A = this chain, B = another copy of it.
Amino acid sequence: MEVDKPAPRRRTRRRTPGPVRVSARDVARHAGVSVATVSRVLNASGPVAEKVRRQVVAAVDALGYTPNAAARALVRSRSETIGAVVPTLENASFAIAVEALQARLRTAGYTLLLASSGYDNANELTQVRTLLTHGVEGVVVVGGSRHVDIERLCAARGVPLVQTWTLRTDTPSVGFDNRAVGRQLADLLLDLGHRHIGVIAGFTRGNDRAAARVAGIAEALAARGLKLAREHLIERPYRIAEGQIGLRALLASEPRPTAVICGNDLLAFGALLEARKRGIDVPGELSIAGIDDLEFAAELDPPLTTIRVPAAEIGRRSAEYLIDRLEGRTVATVTEVATSLIVRGSTAPVPNPPGPNQGDDQ
C-alpha cells in the first residue's frame, strides 16, 4: 500500500566554500556500514564485530574524519567545555590560575572557554552570558559576584558556578579569607610597633577581594584602638607604576606612615622603587608588605614581606570541583586554600618606638 509521502530528497544547502566536510555518513558509506555503527565504533558505545570495527577505523583515517562537536553537543546536550572569566590575564596570579585550571580540565576531557572582564562587573556579566550561550557546562569567576544575575543565570540552567579568590559560605567557592589576610599583615606591622599604617589598595569598589583586605586591615587596627585614616588609604590599579604613585601620596599624608600594606606585590614593588628613589630606607625608615608572593617578590631589594597565595592551586581545585560535580560525585562546596605569611626583609620594627600612651594620634 504505497502512500504519497514525498521521497526524502535532500535539499541543497549553501555549499561550504572550499574543503569538503566529511561526516559520519561519508565514513559509513566508505566502510559499507551504517552511521549507527560508525557511532558505535567511535564511542565504543555498543557491540561491533572486530572486522567491521577495523573497516570503520580505516575509513575514518582514510577520510581524515573528525566528529562534529556541535552536532554531538546538540544531541547529548553536553558541550564538554568550561567557561572562565578573569579580571585580566596581565595579573600573573590569574594567568597562573588559568594555566592550572586549563591543564586540569584537559585531563578530564574539557576544553576551556576564556574571557576577561577588565575588572568591569557589567562586562563580566556579559561574558558569562556569552559563555552560557556557548553551552559551557560549568563556570568559574573570580570573586564573589556583585551581579546576582550571574548566579541566577547559571542556576537557571543548572550550570555549576565557582567563585574563586574568595570564600563564601552560601555558594561554591575556592579561595581564602581576604579579610584575614589583611588582618594578618596589619597585625604583623602592629606587633612591630607601627602605629601609622598606610594602605595602597586595589580599587575596592566592585572588587570584594580588595575591599575585604582593606576591611581586615581596619579591623586589626580597630582591635588596638586605632583607625585607618582616610588619607592613609589610597586605591590604585594593580600595576608597578601605580604603587609608586600610591607611595608618593602616602608620604605626603599627615602623620606620615611608618609602614605600608599594599594590595598586591605589584603595588608593593612600586612602593619599594619609589622609596628607594627618594632615599627612604626600607625597612629602616619604612616597612612595606605585599600580597601574592609572585616570582620576583623574594628577589627584590630588600626581599618583600608578603602573603603567599597559591594561585595554581586555586585554578586546579576549581577545575576539580567542577569535574566532580559534573560527573555526579559529591563535593565539598567550599574549598579553602592555605595562604601563608612570608616575612622577608622589607618589614622591620618601627624606627622610634612611641611610648606606651599613644594611639589617639591617628
Contact = CB atoms under 8 A, between A and B. Distances in A.
A102 B115 contact: yes
A155 to B, nearest CB: 8
A96 B89 contact: yes
Contacts of A99: 88-90, 116
A3 interface: yes
B111 A112 contact: no
A5 B295 CA distance: 71
B269 A69 contact: no
A131 interface: yes
Given A89-B95, A240-B296, A81 B113 contact: yes
A2 B118 CA distance: 63
A106 interface: yes
A73 interface: yes
A134 B19 contact: no
Contact of A135 (B70, B95, B153): B70
B74 A71 contact: yes
A146 interface: no
Given A95-B89, A239-B295, A301-B301, A113 B115 contact: no
Interface in A153-185: 153, 155-158
Nearest to A80: B134
A113 B112 contact: yes
A54 interface: no
A253 interface: no
Contact of A74 (B68, B102, B155, B240): B68
Nearest to A109: B130
A106 B102 contact: no
Contacts of A240: 295-296, 299
Interface of A: 1, 3-5, 16-19, 21, 64, 66-71, 73-74, 77, 79, 81, 88-90, 92, 95-96, 98-99, 102-103, 106, 111-116, 118, 127, 129-135, 153, 155-158, 239-240, 266, 269, 273, 295-296, 299, 301
Query: Nearest 6 A-B pairs (CB), nearest first?
Result: A70-B73, A95-B95, A19-B158, A18-B158, A3-B3, A89-B99
23 contacts: A3-B3, A3-B5, A16-B77, A16-B158, A19-B158, A64-B156, A66-B133, A69-B134, A70-B79, A71-B74, A81-B134, A89-B89, A89-B99, A89-B102, A90-B95, A92-B95, A99-B116, A103-B118, A106-B115, A111-B130, A112-B113, A239-B295, A240-B295
Given A70-B74, A266-B295, 13 more contacts: A16-B158, A19-B155, A68-B133, A81-B113, A81-B134, A89-B95, A89-B96, A89-B99, A103-B116, A111-B134, A112-B114, A239-B295, A240-B295
